[in-house]
Structure 1
């Protein structure tokens, strides 16, 4: 299944870590209904961004889970290839 990286940008103060983790847990609870798998996420407080790595049939489906769980989708989402 294709891999996607999405980006959530924050203006002003970022939410606390627990709020970000709660949003990720909500994605995990919802993911099965959409045939997606949220694999990992990264937080950069310096850049005021959160990146999520997700397996999904397409970018729209990956973004839809965020919209359903948090009310907003990522600002960017793009396909990525795993490299070692």
Structure 2
């Protein structure tokens, strides 16, 4: 299955707790869309969040965010895993 990195550029009021909660909501929703969110990273000072996801396509990955909490990604990039 393709692997994607999604990028949320300017999440206002970003906190560690908010990211934890949003990720938990993604996990609850992902199976409906055939998606598996694997990991995430964030930078509170810049309001940025990065999510690593296995998904059949970009649209399915974004559908999970839209349904789970409404915070869709600004960019979704297909990536290859390295060593």
Structure 1 length-normalised TM: 0.90
Q: Tell me, in whole angstroms, the C-alpha distance in 1 between the residues paired with 2:78 and 2:64.
A: 16
Number of positions where the alignment pairs a residue of Structure 1 with one of Structure 2: 83
Show the counterpart of 1:83: 82
**Runs of 5+ in structure 1 lacking a partner?**
none
Match of 2:55 in 1: 56
Which aligned runs of 4 or more in structure 1 are off by greater than 6 angstroms? Answer: none
Give the TM-score normalised by the residue count of structure 2: 0.91
Which whole-Å CA distance do the structure 2 matches of 1:74 and 1:66 have between them? 8
